[in-house]
Amino acid sequence: MKPSRAIFVVKGGAITPLGDLEALWRGLLEGRVAFKPAGRSRPYVAAHCEIPARDPELSMRRCMALALESTRELGPGSARSDRCALVFASTKGELDQWELQRALRVKPLEPGIVLSEMASELARRLGIAGRVQATSTACASGSFAAIEAAEMLEDGDADEALVIGADALSLFIEHGFGSLKAVSLAGARPFDTTRDGLTLGEAGAAARLSLQAPRGALGRLVSFGASNDANHISGPSRDGLGLALAIERCLKGQDAGRIKAICAHGTATRYNDAMEAHAFERVFGRRIPPVFSIKGSIGHTLGAAGVVELLVSALVAGRGVIPPTAGFSGQAADEPALDVVRGRPRDVGPGLVLSTNSGFGGMNTALLVGPPEVA
Amino acid sequence: MTVGLVSYARISARGIVQGGPSVGASLWREASWPELGAPSGEGIPALKGRYFSATPSPRFGRMDELCKLALAAAELCLAKVSITRPEDLALVGGSMLGCLEVDGLYHDTLLKGGPQGASPALFVYTLPSMFLGEIAIRFGLRGRTSLISTGATSAVAALANAVRLVERGRAPGALAVGVEAVGAFAGELDLHVRGTSGASAWLLSAEDGGLARMGDVRYGVAAGRTLAAGPEGYGLTYVAALEQALRERHVGRVVCGEGMQAVSLALE
């Protein structure tokens, strides 16, 4: 659905396993991979962030540190503090701190695992006095938070909205995905015929959304859509119907032929990537735009993924270059075979980029992102 | 513009409440747990699907407590109601504690058994939004699905969000569900949660509702009837007071919460 008012992505910031937002962009263009061994007694790889030690109080609070670090590049906003909203996206909040404190038998436990508590603390630390909300829709949390923030602006609840997505790696998550046999031992290879699972990553990402487009704005959130598979609690639908519905809702009234690229969810699990291929075929037929996934470089950053990918999509839209998909060898396994960008960046010129996410519980989102001046 | 409240349900330690034309001319029905076939005792009994539906979900027994509570409230709210365009019905959840209880159960399997002890059956429920997935599967709902967490106002914030979605034409109807599962793990947190497990559901339509009409959602300070905050300290804090206003056929604005984090809506 296209919002009734133009929504701009004024500025973005991130901390990812490849560094800040510009470092991430350069790393993606170079096809870099940030995977390292997960740790002792864990057979798989993971993508960790190097978080600058700015605040000793946060040394044991990686999720909070990631969230705050991601906002450092944003600079001050232009709205009054009570007209600035915060939508915080996460799957687990300060799970890392909770996990550590429980293992150490600390009593009582800090409440940052409760998402609204973490969102409130973030707002206090950032001086935001407007609407504050935590949004959690599994691995589509970050992109859904962008939708919620855009609607807050459209409805006049705020003049600016900060969308922050953050999730930190933890044993809880690593062993959980391991128990589901969803983790690759060698590293995620999105859409590749040899793919065998995802790689877990961690990140913080922040986007400042506004109704105003100052000079140098990063991009525009042109339209968005969401849906539920209503199919399976943890597996993607086999036919891609749910994601196709989200994309169709997003593209209602839009010319799909103008889309230059798709920033796919592309987790590199066998079922997710196949589901996405089916969904794209349902919507675009044989004219599927070029596809890329950043999860072959930085892993699956869970609740942060949607915000990171919104920002990367805005960079692709504005700079007109699609980064290659690290881990993709050129052998696509799925029908229809997708045009997955590989090897080196592809120049397509500035234009619209579709960003998709899906998650447990059948959650699907689709964001259409363009340069600031796009109509 | 306002939207129609078609039906309502609430689950608490005392039993259930249903609202809407489908329950009879009085519009409201209450039943204790023994009246639903559950053993008598304190608090919410071990939930069984048959308490809420003649044809319960075969998945019900496998779910965690949060999903059971939310699905039960949705079953009661949607009983004898025909949903037009279920593929477009929006689903909005509200919860403060989310999946904390199953987080604790799953984490204990790790503490006791290490990586080999990780339970996949528990792990899939360690996301606060999973109850929405279970409701979507049960009723074939393919609309947009989201979970909101705003502390004590979580459930009414979900309702307000759902009202907005219908009011602004973003969805033809919406089901809002507020839910909290409260057990030993909530007590470990420095939060002073005093409420007990419970759930509520509201079905909204752009058409006439039958139970009430509501709209004009506002956030922040607003004049109106301020709903009393109970001592619960969790996301269902304002639900019973809002139900009371509906049963009294209150006309006017009701306000939940304080300051910039307050949410209010007009009832007709």
Per-residue pLDDT reduced to its tens digit, A114-144? 999 999 999 999 999 999 999 999 999 999 9
Is A169 in contact with A205 (CB distance < 8 Å)? Answer: no
Q: What is the CA radius of gyration of chain B?
A: 18
Q: Which of A275, A345, A309 is nearest to A140 (CA)?
A: A309
Q: What is the pLDDT of residue A348?
A: 98
The reply to whether A179 and A43 lie within a common domain is yes
CB of B1 within 8 Å of a chain A CB? The answer is no
The interface predicted TM-score (ipTM) is: 0.96
Does the pLDDT value for residue B78 go beyond 90?
Answer: yes
Q: What is the pLDDT of residue B32?
A: 96
Judge whether A121 lies within some domain: yes
Q: What is the pLDDT of residue B210?
A: 87
- Which residues contact residue A243 at a Cβ distance below 8 angstroms, ignoring those fewer than 6 apart? A227, A229, A236, A237, A275, A276, A279, A356, A358, A364, A366
The reply to whether A198 and A223 lie within a common domain is no
The reply to whether A104 and A133 lie within a common domain is yes
The reply to whether A37 and A163 lie within a common domain is yes
The reply to whether A67 and A179 lie within a common domain is yes
Query: Which carries the bigger pLDDT value, residue A193 or residue B231?
Result: A193
Torsion angle (degrees, nearest 10) of CA B257, B261, B262, B263: -120
Q: What is the pLDDT of residue B82?
A: 86
**Mean pLDDT, rounded, for B198-206:** 97
Give the DSSP per-residue string, A45-104: EEE--------GGGTT-HHHHHHHHHTTTT---SS-GGGEEEEEE-SSSSHHHHHHHHHT
CA distance B208 to B5: 8
Q: What is the pLDDT of residue A153?
A: 98
* Final residue of a structural domain among A210, A230, A265: A210
Using one digit for the tens of pLDDT, what is the confidence trace for B7-33?
999 999 999 999 998 888 899 999 999
CB of A3 within 8 Å of a chain B CB? The answer is no
- Which residues contact residue A228 at a Cβ distance below 8 angstroms, ignoring those fewer than 6 apart? A242, A361, A362, A363, A364, B91, B132, B133, B136, B141, B142, B143, B144, B145
Question: Are residues A176 and B137, on separate chains, in Cβ contact within 8 Å?
Answer: no
**Mean pLDDT, rounded, for B123-135:** 97
CA distances from A173 to A265, A330, A362, B118, B148 (A): 19, 31, 19, 10, 22
Judge whether A1 lies within some domain: no
Per DSSP, chain A holds a count of helices (H) and strands (E) of 10, 15
**Mean pLDDT, rounded, for B113-137:** 95
The reply to whether A172 and A94 lie within a common domain is yes
Judge whether A259 lies within some domain: yes
Instruction: Note which residues in 83-142 of chain B have CB less than 8 A from chain A.
Output: 87, 91, 96-98, 100, 103-104, 106-107, 110-111, 115, 118-120, 123-124, 126-130, 132-134, 136-137, 139-142
The reply to whether A341 and A258 lie within a common domain is yes
Which chain A residues are Cβ-neighbours of B91 within 8 angstroms?
A: 228
Shortest Cα distance from A351 to chain B (angstroms)? Answer: 26
The reply to whether A227 and A174 lie within a common domain is no
For a pLDDT cut of 70, what percent of chain B falls above it? 100
CA distance A299 to A187: 8
Alpha carbon B37 to chain centroid distance?
Answer: 22
Judge whether A375 lies within some domain: no
CA distance A248 to A279: 10
Question: Are residues A178 and B115, on separate chains, in Cβ contact within 8 Å?
Answer: yes
Shortest Cα distance from B127 to chain A (angstroms)? Answer: 6
Give the DSSP per-residue string, chain B: -EEEEEEEEEEETTEEEEESGGG-TTSEEEEETGGGTPPP-SSPPPP-GGGT-SS--TTGGGS-HHHHHHHHHHHHHHTT-PPS-GGG-EEEEE-SSTTHHHHHHHHHHHHHHGGGG--HHHHTT-STTHHHHHHHHHHT--S-EEEEE-GGGHHHHHHHHHHHHHHTTS-SEEEEEEEE--SHHHHTBTT------EEEEEEEESS--SSEEEEEEEESS--SEEPPP-S--STTTTHHHHHHHHHTT--EEEEESSGGG-EEEEE-
Hey, what amino acid is at A2?
A: K
CA distance B118 to A308: 29
Half-sphere exposure (Cβ direction) of B268: Cα atoms closer than 13 Å: 13
Domains parsed from chain B with CATH numbers: 3-211 (3.40.47.10)
- Which residues contact residue B106 at a Cβ distance below 8 angstroms, ignoring those fewer than 6 apart? A172, A176, B118, B119, B122, B123, B125, B126
Is A306 in contact with A90 (CB distance < 8 Å)? Answer: no
* Final residue of a structural domain among A148, A175, A210: A210
Q: What is the pLDDT of residue A331?
A: 78
Judge whether A2 lies within some domain: no
Judge whether A90 lies within some domain: yes
Half-sphere exposure (Cβ direction) of A27: Cα atoms closer than 13 Å: 20
Q: What is the pLDDT of residue A334?
A: 66
CA distance A123 to A228: 30
The reply to whether A232 and A85 lie within a common domain is no
Q: What is the pLDDT of residue A42?
A: 74
CB of A148 within 8 Å of a chain B CB? The answer is yes
CB of B42 within 8 Å of a chain A CB? The answer is no
Domain of A353? Answer: 219-370
Q: What is the pLDDT of residue B24?
A: 87
Is the bond preceding A323 in cis, omega lying within 30 degrees of 0?
no
CA distance B235 to B240: 12
| pLDDT mean across residues, chain B | 95
CB of A74 within 8 Å of a chain B CB? The answer is no
Give the tokens for residue B220: 């922040």
Q: Which of A124, A117, A106, A118 is nearest to A62 (CA)?
A: A118
Scanning every residue of chain B, which has its alpha carbon at the shortest distance from the alpha carbon of A40?
B115
The reply to whether A43 and A158 lie within a common domain is yes
* Final residue of a structural domain among A210, A234, A255: A210
Hey, what amino acid is at A169?
A: L
Q: What is the pLDDT of residue A358?
A: 97
Q: What angle do CA A267, A146, B122 make, to 5 degrees?
A: 50
The reply to whether A144 and A197 lie within a common domain is yes
Number of structural domains found in chain A: 2
Low-confidence ranges of chain A (pLDDT < 50): none
Half-sphere exposure (Cβ direction) of A173: Cα atoms closer than 13 Å: 26
Question: Are residues B151 and A113, on separate chains, in Cβ contact within 8 Å?
Answer: no
The domain that holds A331 is classified in CATH as 3.40.47.10
**Mean pLDDT, rounded, for B32-47:** 93
The reply to whether A64 and A138 lie within a common domain is yes
